[in-house]
């Protein structure tokens, strides 16, 4: 580990921004969000963005290909991006996303392009924010190794660790006086079992009727904002748009909370009620992704708890499900 | 005991009585169980649970939309804006007056987690419930200064403001879901044909949605601010609707949700109605 001044970090970001898009926590006048910004205005405090930075490796709308009767051209145009200030919960979420998109039977070339082009600079949290529960999941709020460079905020300076070759190369662009060498890389704390989480052995169907989903989710207004700001929610749909005699195919975020998500062409909806849909969200997070990848798809970032207009608390729901699952 | 705590105690006493004598099967109120002090909606059906009911300056969510589709008589702890929403739901035949028991709270205005007044509350005009079955008073509640409509702007300036606000919007539709008035079974944005929603968070889709929604709320907005409070992205969703509400008031002298008898502005027509905005009608200004 080595220390560099925050001002020097700004210089490095400015340098990187010459050839890459810089994304970092920014104050939009009301809340903090990750967005395209410049090295001078990127926030270097401990505030957490209301939404995760997932849109920069899994965009809300992404063109996949353009095709006509005769040919199809894949869209390989991915802007190289520096994501600065991702929190350890975001990085652990990225580990989950990576498992979903890259480690299954198929590797997703679009996600892969983002991952290989992006430079991810994580910053550890100094303190728990209201609603945060990464500790209850056994995660470390100060550190994750699923990034290229990890920073620890020590006031005017950052402790710096590079965790990949990409990170090392980026740090080599620091001004001569601030060169860092990193020995003794830390490794991330592994979640120690099922603090909040379901055993991957349980059959989901036993939880369909034995949990009182209606009561647990009675106040949910069905807005689905929780899925948009969540760092691990990754459901999508495809949309074809005709343009200039060709068809452009887009991948767009979708949400299990929306009734349209499972609406059949016949008009039948297998998840007809909000309780059905919320059940899907909870079981997908804590059970299905775990069955498929070994990771639960929740890292305790607390965003859904903080932003839900009516305070629906996924932790309370998950714990109630665990009680039944025991 | 503070005035608010006295009000809270009265809410609990009332809920106990309503459930005990079966005047209501459910009491919808607030529980202090959210993050950062946010009071979240709670449905009380058993007298032994009334202790969960609270009332303070973080009783933010508008509870009116929970009444739609409920069976049996429901009592609702209603801020004046919630009560206005209930009234308008009755006027629009979404719920029946006999099915709801309104516990009308005198309201000092709600705050955010940091204690600052919410925007809608800062300029609220109605701080006692216009219609109620019982009123829980708060002598400290004072009228506030009227909200001024935004000064007329040019087209460019309007567009610039809209663009600035909408850059933050992620089109998650939480403002719609939080709105008591957005009770359409299928929102125009969710209809497949025509394809209103290009599934892309671009300015065109945002304009379609936010302007469409503002027009649908003409003469129906009760200015509770639920849309703005629900927005995690910090968009001032309310300003467009505020403009539309201002027009309705100016043109037809109608305030939403203040009376069970008044004809809603958009559900009635008089030959001498001002026709601002009609093609060939009078110009505005």
Chain mean pLDDT for chain B: 90
Distances in whole angstroms, Cα of residue A288 to Cα of each of A149, A212, A256, A263, B21: 31, 19, 14, 21, 46
In which band, very low, low, confident or very high, does the pLDDT at B147 lie, cut at 50, 70 and 90? low
Q: Mean of the pLDDT values across residues B225-237?
A: 93
In which band, very low, low, confident or very high, does the pLDDT at B246 lie, cut at 50, 70 and 90? confident
Closest partner residue to A31 (CB to CB) among B174, B190, B233 is: B233
Which stretch of A146-160, B54-68, B214-228, B235-249 has the lowest confidence by average pLDDT? B235-249
- Cα distance between residue A200 and residue A287, in whole Å: 6
- Cα distance between residue B215 and residue B247, in whole Å: 11
Is the same domain home to B7 and B132?
yes
Is the same domain home to A106 and A31?
yes
- pTM comes to 0.89
DSSP string covering B245-268: HHHHHHHH---TTS-SSSPPGGG-
Q: Among A143, A178, A213, give the residue marking a domain's end.
A: A178
DSSP code at position B42: E
DSSP string covering B146-189: PPPPPPP--HHHHHHHHHHHHTT-----HHHHH-TT---SS-GG
Of B148, B142, B149, the closest CA to residue B127 belongs to B142
Position B204 scores a pLDDT of: 87
**Is residue B143 a part of any domain in this protein?**
no
Tokens of A113: 């392009």
- Residues B48-97 have pLDDT tens digits of 999 999 999 999 999 999 999 998 999 999 999 999 999 999 999 999 99
Is the same domain home to B161 and B128?
no
- To the nearest whole percent, how much of chain B has pLDDT over 90? 64
**Is residue B216 a part of any domain in this protein?**
yes
Work out how many domains chain B is built from and give that number: 2
**Is residue A192 a part of any domain in this protein?**
no
Is the same domain home to B44 and B168?
no
Q: What is the mean pLDDT of each run of 10 residues along chain A (326 residues)?
A: 88 95 94 95 95 95 94 94 97 96 93 96 95 90 94 93 92 77 65 62 81 92 94 93 90 92 93 94 92 91 95 91 84
In which band, very low, low, confident or very high, does the pLDDT at B285 lie, cut at 50, 70 and 90? very low
- Cα distance between residue B66 and residue B183, in whole Å: 11
Is the same domain home to A129 and A56?
yes
Q: Rounded to the nearest 10 degrees, how much is the dihedral formed by the CA atoms of B252, B256, B259, B264? A: 50
Q: Mean of the pLDDT values across residues B155-184?
A: 91
Chain A and chain B share a number of CB contacts under 8 A equal to 103
Work out how many domains chain A is built from and give that number: 2
In which band, very low, low, confident or very high, does the pLDDT at B136 lie, cut at 50, 70 and 90? very high
DSSP code at position A262: G
CB B196 within 8 A of CB B208: yes
Is the same domain home to B94 and B176?
no
Is the same domain home to A308 and A217?
yes
- B interface mutation test: which of A310, A313, A315, A319 has the most B CBs within 10 A? A310
Which range marks the domain in which residue B213 is found? 155-267
Residue ranges of E strands in chain A: 2-5, 21-27, 32-36, 61-67, 72-74, 81-86, 119-123, 149-153, 157-162, 236-243, 246-253
**Is residue A190 a part of any domain in this protein?**
no
Q: Mean of the pLDDT values across residues B20-34?
A: 96
Q: How many CB atoms lie within 10 A of CB B163?
A: 12
Position B283 scores a pLDDT of: 59
Is the same domain home to B93 and B164?
no
Inter-helix orientation angle A88-102/A109-117, to 10°: 140
Position A84 scores a pLDDT of: 97
Is the same domain home to B8 and B132?
yes
Asked if A313 and B36 come within 8 Å (Cβ–Cβ), the reply is no
A257: closest chain B residue by CA:
B172
Is the same domain home to A143 and A271?
no
**Is residue B141 a part of any domain in this protein?**
no
Asked if A219 and B190 come within 8 Å (Cβ–Cβ), the reply is no
Position B274 scores a pLDDT of: 79
Closest partner residue to B36 (CB to CB) among A51, A130, A258 is: A130
**Is residue B150 a part of any domain in this protein?**
no
In which band, very low, low, confident or very high, does the pLDDT at B30 lie, cut at 50, 70 and 90? very high
- Cα distance between residue A62 and residue A78, in whole Å: 10
Closest partner residue to B234 (CB to CB) among A30, A221, A305 is: A30
- B interface mutation test: which of A261, A311, A312, A315 has the most B CBs within 10 A? A311
- Surface of B (115-154) touching A: CB under 8 A: none
**Is residue B239 a part of any domain in this protein?**
yes
Which range marks the domain in which residue A150 is found? 2-67+77-178
**Is residue A72 a part of any domain in this protein?**
no
In which band, very low, low, confident or very high, does the pLDDT at B149 lie, cut at 50, 70 and 90? low
Residue owning tokens 């005990």: B20
């Amino acid at each position: 580990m080595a220390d560099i001044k925050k001002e020097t970090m700004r210089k490095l970001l400015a340098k990187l921004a010459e050839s890459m898009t810089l994304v970092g926590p920014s104050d939009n006048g009301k809340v903090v969000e990750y967005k395209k910004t410049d090295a001078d205005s990127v926030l270097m405090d401990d505030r957490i963005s209301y939404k995760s930075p997932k849109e920069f490796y899994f965009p809300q709308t992404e063109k996949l290909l353009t095709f006509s009767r005769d040919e199809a051209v894949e869209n390989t145009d991915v802007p190289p991006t520096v994501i600065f200030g991702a929190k350890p919960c975001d990085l652990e979420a990225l580990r989950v996303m990576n498992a979903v998109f890259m480690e299954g039977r198929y590797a997703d070339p679009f996600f892969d392009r983002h991952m290989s082009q992006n430079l991810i600079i994580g910053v550890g949290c100094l303190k728990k924010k209201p609603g945060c529960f990464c500790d209850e999941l056994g995660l470390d709020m100060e550190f994750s190794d699923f990034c290229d460079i990890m920073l620890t905020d020590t006031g005017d300076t950052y402790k710096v660790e590079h965790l990949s070759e990409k990170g090392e190369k980026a740090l080599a662009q620091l001004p001569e006086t601030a060169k860092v060498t990193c020995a003794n890389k830390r490794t991330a704390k592994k979640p120690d079992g099922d603090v909040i989480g379901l055993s991957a052995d349980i059959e989901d169907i036993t939880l369909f009727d034995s949990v009182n989903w209606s009561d647990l989710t009675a106040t949910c207004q069905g807005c689905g904002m929780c899925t948009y700001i969540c760092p691990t929610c990754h459901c999508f749909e495809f949309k074809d748009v005709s343009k200039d005699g060709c068809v452009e195919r887009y991948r767009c975020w979708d949400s299990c909370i929306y009734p349209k998500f499972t609406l059949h062409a016949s008009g039948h909806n297998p998840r007809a009620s909000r309780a059905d849909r919320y059940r899907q969200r909870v079981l997908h997070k804590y059970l299905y992704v775990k069955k498929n990848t070994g990771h639960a798809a929740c890292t305790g970032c607390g965003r859904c708890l903080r932003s839900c207009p009516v305070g629906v608390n996924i932790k309370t729901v998950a714990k109630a499900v665990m009680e039944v699952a025991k | 005991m503070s005035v608010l705590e006295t009000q809270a105690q009265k809410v609990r006493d009332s809920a106990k009585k309503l459930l005990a004598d079966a005047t209501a099967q459910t009491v919808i109120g607030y529980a202090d169980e959210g993050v950062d002090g946010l009071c979240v909606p709670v449905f009380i059906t058993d007298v032994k649970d009334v202790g969960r009911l609270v009332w303070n300056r973080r009783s933010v969510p508008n509870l009116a939309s929970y009444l739609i589709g409920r069976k049996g008589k429901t009592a609702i702890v209603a801020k004046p804006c919630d009560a206005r929403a209930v009234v308008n739901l009755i006027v629009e035949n979404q719920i029946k007056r006999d099915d709801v028991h309104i516990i009308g709270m005198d309201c000092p205005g709600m705050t955010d987690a940091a204690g600052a007044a919410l925007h809608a509350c800062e300029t609220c005009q109605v701080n006692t419930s216009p219609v109620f079955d019982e009123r829980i008073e708060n002598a400290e509640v004072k009228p506030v200064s009227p909200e001024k409509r935004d000064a007329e702007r040019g087209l460019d300036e309007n567009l610039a403001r809209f663009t600035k606000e909408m850059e933050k919007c992620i089109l998650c539709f939480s403002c719609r879901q939080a709105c008591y008035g957005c009770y359409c079974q299928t929102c125009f944005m969710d209809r497949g044909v025509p394809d209103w929603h290009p599934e892309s968070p671009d300015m065109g889709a945002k304009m379609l949605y936010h302007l469409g929604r503002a027009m649908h709320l003409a003469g129906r907005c009760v200015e509770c601010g639920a849309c703005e409070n629900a927005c995690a992205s910090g968009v001032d969703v309310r300003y467009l609707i505020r403009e539309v509400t201002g027009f309705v008031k100016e043109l037809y002298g109608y305030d939403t949700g203040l009376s069970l008898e008044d004809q809603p502005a958009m559900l009635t027509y008089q030959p001498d109605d001002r026709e601002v905005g009609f093609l060939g009608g009078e110009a505005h200004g």
